[in-house]
Amino acid sequence: MYTLGIETSCDETSCAVLSGLKVLSNVTISSLKQHKKYGGVVPEVATRAHLKNIDKVFSAALHEAKISLKQIDLIAVTHKPGLIGALVVGLNFAKALSLGLDKPLIGVDHLRAHLFAAFLDGSRKIEFPFIGLVVSGGHTDIYLVKDFHRPKLIGATCDDACGESYDKVARVLGLGYPGGPVIDKIFDEKEKNAFKFKCGRKELDLSFSGIKTAVLYKKQELEDQGVLKREEMIRLVSSFQGAVVEAIVDTVRDAALKYKVKTVVCGGGVAANRYLRAQLIERAADLNVIIAPMRYTTDNAAMVAGLGFYLYNRGFKNGPRLKAQAR
Ligand code: KG4
Ligand code: ZN
């Protein structure tokens, strides 16, 4: 069975073809460069880029998977959450295909798809329950997952999302956008305690807005003492990332303990972070930690197709009335 996945919730236009859970193609065009000068995603710019690129990624995904239009059996599309204009582009494309080809359509929740990314290519067996950790540019969510259609939100950020805090810290330090990959690259574990930063935490909820301000103040203080040298920049960034990763890993461990769950599944853009990946495995050694493979951490259509296929096999599907939902 061939599933076509479509993802347009933010700044990545992506189409993928899966055979069962095996990824045959996963083609993405990002409009990231066009947003760089604004320091964040501009919805209107992203929407126009989706309109321009969706045909291209669709044709390329079919070509790479070596299948024809008529061989598509199921169409899975992200319909929530995301930028509304951006979502509508992918959703309407999916609806038109579904009607034109007379093939079933299934709407997929983007955040659940980030978790499903851990199971693509059939590399891991899907077993419930698990603690699901979604760390992305828009979300920092912790779920108790008893099945993919009914995850229970048990923790979240009270303010900024984790990826958003990486982006904001990188911006105040003049490191460019997006901040996650840059900070990941220059992070030095030996410097993670150079400055005392801390994330806010209350039970299973987190807060990242205070630490962002603390980094800004520390930067200003260092600048007042002279020019901010590269070594100090590395200390700042490393102390920031050290605190963020510690808070996330602590919270996930507490969630597993509270709900007596042995497995943790992690996905989303920030799950690409090398230190977070290493710490999850090291500090949660008593748990079964499953992290989405690197190539499926940032937004992609393979994870959408995978979850769509999974849900369709459990009797879920949607019709042409399926709506895009921003939140
Ligand atoms: O999941 P994603 O591609 O889009 C959303 O659904 O939001 O996540 C994008 C976020 C950005 O904030 C980016 O800075 C962050 O993921 N990110 C990283 C890394 N790569 C991307 N954060 C930390 N370390 C990384 N290596
Ligand atoms: Zn995402």
Please give the average per-residue pLDDT across 167-174, as a whole number. Answer: 94
- Three-class DSSP category at 48: helix
Give the C-alpha separation, 4 to 69, whole Å. Answer: 10
Is the backbone peptide bond immediately before 151 cis, with ω within 30 degrees of 0?
no
Please give the average per-residue pLDDT across 174-198, as a whole number. Answer: 95
CA of 319 to the centre of ligand 1 (A): 32
CB distance 309 to 18 below 8 Å: yes
Please give the average per-residue pLDDT across 239-261, as a whole number. Answer: 98
Residue 308 one-letter amino acid: G
The CATH fold assigned to 127-292 is Nucleotidyltransferase; domain 5 (3.30.420)
CB distance 128 to 145 below 8 Å: yes
Please give the average per-residue pLDDT across 186-191, as a whole number. Answer: 98
The per-residue pLDDT for 251 is 98
Nearest CA to ligand 1 atom 14: 180
The phi and psi torsions of 68 (rounded to 5 degrees) equal -100, 165
Q: Which residues, chain by chain, have CB under 5 Å from ion ligand 2?
A: 136, 299
Q: Pinpoint the residues of the chain covered by CATH 3.30.420.40.
A: 2-117+297-312, 127-292
- pLDDT above 80: residue 202: yes
Secondary-structure class of domain 2-117+297-312 per CATH: alpha beta
Q: Considering only residues 135 and 178, tell me which one the structure prediction assigns the higher pLDDT.
A: 135
268 Cα nearest atom in ligand 1: 1
Pocket flag, ligand 1, residue 178 (CB < 6 Å): yes
Quick one: how far is CA 303 from the chain centroid? 10
- pLDDT above 90: residue 175: yes
163 Cα nearest atom in ligand 1: 12
Ligand nearest the Cα of residue 169 is 1
CB distance 43 to 34 below 8 Å: no
Nearest CA to ligand 1 atom 2: 269
CA of 160 to the centre of ligand 2 (A): 15
The band of 22, judged by pLDDT with boundaries at 50, 70 and 90, is: very high
Per mean pLDDT, which range of 121-130, 258-267, 304-313 is the poorest? 121-130
The helix (H) or strand (E) run that includes residue 193 is none
Q: Can you spell out the DSSP letters for 214-225?
A: HHHHHHHHHHHT
185 Cα nearest atom in ligand 1: 26
- Beta strands of the chain (E only): which ranges? 2-7, 12-19, 22-30, 74-80, 105-109, 130-135, 140-145, 151-156, 200-202, 205-207, 263-267, 288-291
Q: Give pLDDT tens digits for 218-247.
A: 999 999 988 788 899 999 999 999 999 999
For the chain, give the mean pLDDT.
96
Give the C-alpha separation, 20 to 251, whole Å. Answer: 34
Tell which residue, 138, 145, 156, 164, has the closest CA to residue 265.
145
> How many of the other CB atoms lie within 10 Å of CB of 199?
24
Pocket flag, ligand 1, residue 24 (CB < 6 Å): no
- The two three-digit tokens of residue 168, written as one number: 């904001």
The per-residue pLDDT for 38 is 85
Tell which residue, 155, 159, 180, has the closest CA to residue 168.
180
- The two three-digit tokens of residue 89, written as one number: 């582009």
The per-residue pLDDT for 37 is 84
274 Cα nearest atom in ligand 1: 26
- pLDDT above 80: residue 39: no
Residues in contact with 89: Cβ distance below 8 Å, sequence separation at least 6, in sequence order: 8, 13, 47, 50, 51, 54
CA of 122 to the centre of ligand 2 (A): 21
Q: Give pLDDT tens digits for 266-323.
A: 999 999 999 999 999 999 899 999 999 999 999 999 999 999 999 999 999 999 999 9
Mutate to test the pocket of ligand 1, among 28, 111, 136 (most ligand atoms within 8 A of CB): 136
Q: Can you spell out the DSSP letters for 141-173?
A: EEEEESSTT-EEEEEEBSSS-HHHHHHHHHHHT
Dihedral over Cα of 93, 10, 253, 200: its sign? negative
CB distance 106 to 318 below 8 Å: yes
